Amino acid sequence: MCQKCARLTRPVKLRQNSDLFDLAEQVAPYVADGALEVVQASSPLPELRRDLPVKSSYFYVLRCTRCGREFQWTMDTAHGGGQWF
């Protein structure tokens, strides 16, 4: 872990779709400025918007471009559960 990704290391439980969108809004600037890179994605991050239809599930792996730490992000919108770890 490094100073770039230290703020992101806290695990987060996602209980409802609004949690998914909140997390997407928090992570997007890190991806935009190159601090995180998307390693694996079930759909493009820009598609995680409140004004677009929600898919039944999402899965992402993001990596810190400085230290290489990976973060996983899952969400099952059909059953209302997910996490960031």
Beta pairing class for 70-76 and 81-84: antiparallel
Region at 68 (left for phi over 0; alpha for psi -120 to 50; beta for the rest):
left
pLDDT along the chain (85 residues), means of 10: 82 87 92 95 91 92 95 88 84
Q: In Å, how far are 3, 5, 14, 68 from 54, measured between CA atoms?
A: 33, 27, 15, 30
The pLDDT of residue 34 is 94
Spatial contact of 64 and 35, defined as CB atoms under 8 Å apart: yes
pTM reported for the whole predicted model: 0.84
Q: Tell me, what's the pLDDT at 30?
A: 93
| CA diameter of the chain | 35
